Amino acid sequence: MTAPHECSTSPRYSPSGSGSDATIGGVSSGFILESALMNTLPPHLNGGHFLLAETDPAEVFTPEDLSSEERQIIDTTEKFMDKEVLPRLEALEHQEEGLSVSLFKQLGQLGLHALEVPESHAGLGLGKTVAAGVAAQFSRLGGFGVTCGAHSGIGTMPLTYFGTPAQQQKYLPRLASGELIAAYCLSEAGSGSDALGMKTKAILSSDGKHYVLNGAKMWISNAAWADLFTVFAKVDGEQVTAFLVERNTPGVSFGKEEHKLGIKSSSTRRVILENVQVPVENVLGGVGKGAYIAFNILNFGRFGLGAGAVGGSIEMIRTATRYALERKQFGRPIASFGLIQQKLGEMAARTFAVESATYRTAAMIDAVMATGETMDLTNPPFPRGMEEFAVECSILKVACSEALWHVVDEGLQIHGGYGFSEEYSPARSYRDARINRIFEGTNEINRLFIPSTLLRRAQRGRFKLPTSISEHTAPSASAAPLDQAGELLRGAKQAALWLTGIAVQKFGEGLAEQQEILGAISDIMIEIFLDESALLRTQKAIVAGRPAVAMTDLTLSLLNDSASRMEHRGVLALAASLSGDELQKSLANLRRLLAWTPVNAVELRRKVAARLCEVGTYPALIAGSSKDKENR
């Protein structure tokens, strides 16, 4: 759980001088400037493309594509967690004085805080693909993942992308080495989801040399030990602005450690600002530019949270599998019982889906960032890659956090009464996982953000929302199962856009108040992205001659459940938008688009569970069991 820390989101916002900013459900899409953006990217590198067309499996990055150097970095992180962090779990959970900081600085010596810092500032200049794997390892202990993610993610990235050369030279090398620890201060007691309702103020001094900050920030991760804070305040009570504030600045103080449900090994405190004088050279990105800094950094924060949640899911699968093999009831391991096998199979399927979607998104972000294209309607400009996949980052935030919640819940259930005891790890994992559905914007806010962003893009001609359905052939029952899966997804994409068009026609500007409909459409879009990512990964493995037996079973099991969920959400949206004969006709069209011949999910999950019990871990499951390799 690399959940960097804030409970804030992208709320109502109108960029200064840009006119009204359309919102859906009260949530602005942030700074989406397609109308003046030259589109020079290949189609699959455009955000939301997955809904508009099919993607070639060869264009998708999967965990199997990691280079040997990237794997070595991830393996180094895993070994550090196994040797240095997890053996000290109890001491970390009780915040033993100096321990977290000591481990943090050891990671700095290994270069693990420098992954995404530019080489020009003592970083490694790497991208999201390797960062995703590292985040997954850190988040095997949820609170420790928060500590590391809050630093290297939304703590350091504002400076990386929006800092002046002087600011970057002063701070980035020390952040990359771990000499300094970073934190991000946006939320307040009265402004969580409505982040721009902040009350913290900044007033320019009479001599023009510094700003005086007053206010308090809530839920700030790393507050107990951070050295540098990115603090958001309103200049003259109006212009949201970001400031770099050092810990030892007079007037900076901290509340007591929050008594949290989970992530106890992380620090969460209030940051109090009382007449804090911040030099004008510590304004980040310019006066009045704080909102677009905050919102675009949160895109990457949501990605990091998702990547960390994948690691938490993988760790719980390992723990639950081991326990199911060791625990005997009625004279045999509980892993041999059907309902336990169903749990293990579904845990693996959900993890496979979110892992596939995470690495797919990571590589797309890296590819766009590598072009150097910027959104230059703002000053300073920021990399296009920060905004391009805002929809996909919100999808990951929702899907990965909810997959983790399902996995830890089932893992605890497999442990039975022992799972409810604090002496066993599922209890801690259960508590740690809960925050992820709140971090980086609640899942409800992110669900509204997904369709609102696409509607903004549609207004600018980037999306075409149909109000009628083109010809669609239901998959043949005799077709190969993966071909049927592809046909289902083609129909589902058409259904998602069609449902959106119907809702827009029905409610117009009033759609903002129809959050239930927007949430249902968002859920379908989330299902599509996860399902397609899993399918493309499987297809790519087959073409490459890699072991794909487990991948195929996981994909078909996933699609089998997803088909019914998408239909259920589609029916809800239609019934809330239409009535009478029009509703009946539309329901028939929806079922035609989502036609799916059910597979034997019981058998598929049993097979997955059997392989999982043979190899012991999720990564080994995907790599293929010995029987899989013999049958290739």
Which residue, 361, 369, 308, is CA-closest to 157?
369
Question: Is 64 marked active-site?
Answer: no
| Residues whose CB is less than 8 angstroms from the CB of residue 457 and which lie 6 or more positions away in sequence, other chains included | 32, 34, 47, 48, 463
Q: Residue 627 is inside which H or E element, if any?
A: helix 626-630
Distance CA 214, CA 212 (A): 7
Distance CA 232, CA 224 (A): 19
Task: Report the SS3 class of residue 278.
Answer: strand
Residue 184 backbone phi and psi in degrees, to 5:
-130, 125
Question: What six digits make up the tokens of 12?
Answer: 């109502």
- The Cβ of residue 470 has, within 10 Å, a number of other Cβ atoms equal to 7
Distance CA 483, CA 481 (A): 5
Query: Residue for token digits 């991208």?
Result: 127
* Residue pair 527/450 in contact by the 8 Å Cβ criterion: no
DSSP code string of 182-201: EEEE--BTTBSSSGGG---E
Cα angle value 310/316/319 (rounded, 5°): 150
Question: What six digits make up the tokens of 133?
Answer: 């794997």
* Residue pair 212/195 in contact by the 8 Å Cβ criterion: no
* Residue pair 275/293 in contact by the 8 Å Cβ criterion: no
End-to-end CA distance of the chain: 35
Question: What six digits make up the tokens of 286?
Answer: 């310019």
Distance CA 587, CA 338 (A): 35
Ordered alpha helix ranges (H), 436-547: 443-459, 481-507, 515-544
- The Cβ of residue 498 has, within 10 Å, a number of other Cβ atoms equal to 22
- The Cβ of residue 49 has, within 10 Å, a number of other Cβ atoms equal to 18
> For the stretch 92-105, what's the b/e string if a residue is b when 16 or more beta carbons lie within 10 angstroms of its beta carbon?
bbebeeeebbebbe
Sign of CA dihedral 71, 77, 83, 85: negative
- The Cβ of residue 177 has, within 10 Å, a number of other Cβ atoms equal to 17
- Active-site hit among 93, 116, 410, 440: 440
Q: Print the SS3 string covering 393-454.
A: HHHHHHHHHHHHHHHHHHHHHHHHHHHHCCCCHHHHHHHHHHHHHCCCCCHHHHHHHHHHHH
Q: Measured in whole angstroms, how far is the alpha carbon of residue 622 from the centre of its chain?
A: 22
Distance CA 461, CA 426 (A): 48
Distance CA 202, CA 275 (A): 9
| Residues whose CB is less than 8 angstroms from the CB of residue 480 and which lie 6 or more positions away in sequence, other chains included | none
Burial of 577 by CB count in 10 Å (0-12 exposed, 13-18 middle, 19+ buried)?
A: buried
Distance CA 619, CA 321 (A): 13
Catalytic residue ranges: 440
